[in-house]
Amino acid sequence: MALVYLPDIRLNADLRGDASAPPIVLIHALGTHSGLWADMPLPPNLRVLTMDLRGHGASDAPPPPYQMGAMIRDVERLMDHFNLRDAVVVGVSLGGLVAQGLAIKRLDLVRGLVLSNTAAKIGTTELWNARCDEIARTGLEPYANGAMERMLGRAWRDHPKMPMLRDMLVQTAPDGWIGAARAIAGTDFYTPTAALRLPTLVIAGANDGTTPPNLVRETADLIPGAEFHLMRGVGHLPMLDQPDAYGALIAAFLARIGHV
């Protein structure tokens, strides 16, 4: 991966695949980074863009709070930088909010969506503000165990990917986590997402303690024709729980809409 120098921020991004291949954009969750997608198989004939959102990974972490509009604009500018159009955008959790906002704003960039373990609105302002205040006082280390349980389920301590995921979280800049969490707190896409008309696959995890299946299904119901799939035995991050099955779901969706 390499830093892309935008006028106001440096974003860590990676673009792979032939320039003539259909593009797919992968947007990670809060407190993770682009490495979240490392084990997920995709069809070989794709042009794949991954990035670290602002405040995460090797991208810059400006002082909080962040606006969701700024996080959407970051991805928009990366796609313009790499001259990507008509992409399928895959977003998990926070990344799913960014994906929705990008499709609402720039339908020329997005021809299909995969909204994974996300919703049009995630949590309450009070919940996010309380978490941000706690992390501002104590950092991310004390928060990590509870986050692992919500994301990976009750057996989180024995999950083979837990050490990697926990490391991602605790190495995230606290300002970056807080900034992005403030963006989530201020986002409600119920009305604009209901206006979307494009191929959409919505994926939920049966054991997801962060965006429960009913919340995810509610978001799928906003978009006419959206497909909904509930994955059994997975939590908030199915690309870690069942990477092969998750990748197969996405690959089948890409085939159905003629994107591979």
Enumerate helices (H) and strands (E) in the chain, giving the number of each: 10, 8
Mean pLDDT of 195-219: 97
**pLDDT higher than threshold 90 for residue 1:** no
Mean pLDDT of 192-208: 97
**pLDDT higher than threshold 90 for residue 207:** yes
Mean pLDDT of 13-32: 97
* Overall number of domains in the chain: 1
**pLDDT tens digits for 220-260?**
999 999 999 999 999 999 999 999 999 999 999 999 999 99
CATH code of 212's domain: 3.40.50.1820
**pLDDT tens digits for 96-141?**
999 999 999 999 999 999 999 999 999 999 999 999 999 999 999 9
Measured CA to CA, the distance from residue 237 to residue 30 in angstroms comes to 11
Full-model pTM = 0.97
pLDDT at res. 154: 87
The per-residue DSSP string of 39-53 comes to: T----SS-EEEEEPP
Q: Which domain holds residue 192?
A: 2-256
**pLDDT tens digits for 70-81?**
999 999 999 999
pLDDT at res. 208: 95
